Structure 1
Amino acid sequence: MNTRFAIDRLGGQGDGIANTETGPVFVPFTLPGEVVTAAREKDRATLMAVLEPSPLRVEPACRHFGECGGCAVQHLEPAAYNDWKRAKVVDSLKRERIEVDVAATVPCQPASRRRVTLSARRTETGMLLGYNRAHSHTIVDIEECPIAVPEIVAALGRLKMLAGLICKTPKPFHLTVTQTASGLDIAAAESGKLADNARTLASDFVIREGFSRLSVDGEIIVEPRKPTILFGDVSVFPPPGGFLQAVASAEAVMADLVAGHLGKAKKVADLFAGAGAFALRLAKKSEIHAVEGDAAALAALDRGFRFASGVKRITAEKRDLFRRPLTFKELNAFDGVVFDPPRAGAEDQSKQLARSDVPLVAAVSCNPVTLARDLKILMEGGYKLKSVTPIDQFLWSPHVEAVALLEKPRKRR
């Protein structure tokens, strides 16, 4: 039975929330101030009709919106959407009692995402390739994707054909597709073991279609051209399926903020350095010690440095910073630190950093909650928070990046 709901606020995951006598009800694809009818099941409801729309409601950009779970808030007007992203950062900081004037969200443009992870599965009627429906393992077969760069969208049909060639499992699997300067880099995961004939067919297809590389579970099947990513003006060959910031322009903004803050530092530690998005840019002015737990990413960074021109020395250290963070004594050798951890944040590393004498710190995060926790640790250790800038690179999703810049007076020795 359909129920009438008045939507009170927008939740952290982008669902409209209606306050009822029995508690909050989450209604996806609705906005604050709207009156809707929805089919309720416990604390969630499926939208049936919008009776009184919000003035902030806009026409979604994609025909798949509402069915595909890739986007949550295409129906929200852009300025309000950017305010919502900023509020996620502000609210996380407030929960830790951190007072700072958070900057406006740096927006993300459509058709800018250079790296997407698609779900694929063979069915009785053919291959499916797309994103999972929200709160479901059902794959929505897509024909467009307004967040992705045009090169990826134009290749969706060919990517589905390639998925069919490498699919050796009845289960769903994933294709991570990255736009590079030398063509699309495709990394399959859990698609099944390829026999020799299937390898040949897939390799011939990749070469014929102009893709740069195909890997399956980390093994390179064929690489007609090395995938090339530019970090500033330094070329890097990323490892198969390796981490990369989703939007190049967002990465550039983050790097500019970090470089502007650490510009006077002679020696910088780049922690959770990945393949060198920050290190290779910062090395234009500073000596860099890059620390990363992933050997393949670190090797890509090191090779990029060795073939780069106009950069200062970069040393690389493979180290699990969750199990063995740099100690405060090790950190004291540096004038600046940047850290960009996974969503879990860098709690133990922040505790060591808080005890250090490093004067300049840049904290980059994709999770406002763990960022706020880590900033509180640093501030309790004597750091002053100078600025926090939210950066959107996951358009129409609940996720938001942020760059926080901190300073601590140098102790006299």
Structure 2
Amino acid sequence: MFTKYAYTVDERFMRYAKIDTQSDPLSTTFPSTEKQKDLSRLLVKELKEMGIEDAELDEHGYVYATIPSNTSKNVPVICFCSHVDTSSDSSGTGVKPIVHRSYDGGDIVLPDDETIIISPKEHPYLLEKKGDDIITASGTTLLGADDKAGVAEIMDAANYLMQHPEIKHGAIRILFTPDEEIGRGVDKVNIQKLGASFGYTMDGGEAGSLEDENFSADGAKITVYGVSAHPGSAKDKLVSAIKVASAIVDALPKDSMSPETTEDREGFIHPVRMQGTVEKAEIDFIIRDFETSSLESHESFLRNIMDKVTAQHPGARATLKVTSQYRNMKEVLVNHPEVTAYAAEAIKRAGLQPLKMSIRGGTDGSRLSFMGLPCPNIFTGEMALHGKHEYVSIQDMQKAVQTIVYLAQVWEEKSQQ
């Protein structure tokens, strides 16, 4: 079906990657950065050029569009979703994507900083990509394959479907979101306006991967209150909130319960930001586990550490505030097994073996699932995320385009007249 198709996914991705769309976790606006809309406006323009007439960008930075149904069957409306923002962990300004044609299986040395080397020793998936065309950044920025690879794949699949009306499918909604990287990706999405029954985020990793389970997540903030005094006359008076906060972090387990010491289905408590003065200091944590019920025990463990350390510093006091963030999509998807099953069938039709995986993190899909849109996550090829070692295979992206098209077909085939 795709033998004569001239894919546009790589050209699109290279163009999108150059647009700075970093989100900002410290911003109070929505979207957190206006520059995310620079890409979103381009996407609307390109969708309209394909003939998708209702493509629009709303005031919150969401792109909505519809590929109309071309079948007489009663097919549920499905949605494909990716996010336009890139991580704040590494610069997204001045991205220079580079194509390494027919990758030879060795180290990839990035030209703008030759100390940045993408090696199959640290990135074993590269060994499976020998002969592929690999896209990297130049060494001074991230690449932005997370999630501009997904954006480009949805755009190319839309282009294919609009050019091939013989491929029968129901109505397909396209959703591009801002601020996913800072956990706000669907805060203002209009589910009623979206009008889809089921969805798929295109935000996964290696080719063939299909994720229907993710961490459940809470955020926690410890606020420490000290006692300020002039340092020249502070003996037996001053209690430093900074030192108490530091002692709380130091009291966390060194060999367990942290991202750097856990894997697979193990959860963690992770301090991600600390700031303060002598009088008041704050520590922000993320708390993760695949079992939602385990979050409470992690939070109790953290509270006990806080209370114990605070008791060792007379005059100090501390509070812990927990905020729910997102939950394991499996809790919703287990009631809609066809959503994941159809995706697995589409991956097989694309010539790949489906790889059922769990996400040690979250996607827009995890929150969308609890907003009434059951939404597993499909591969894009994006690897080594959020840093200068990020890369993506063009051939993986092409397989993702095929998977989207086949998935639209599967839903049509499985539906009744």
TM-score range, shorter chain: under 0.3
TM-score by length of 1: 0.24
TM-score by length of 2: 0.24
Q: Which has the higher strand share?
A: 1
Greater relative contact order (CA < 8 Å, ≥ 6 in sequence): 2
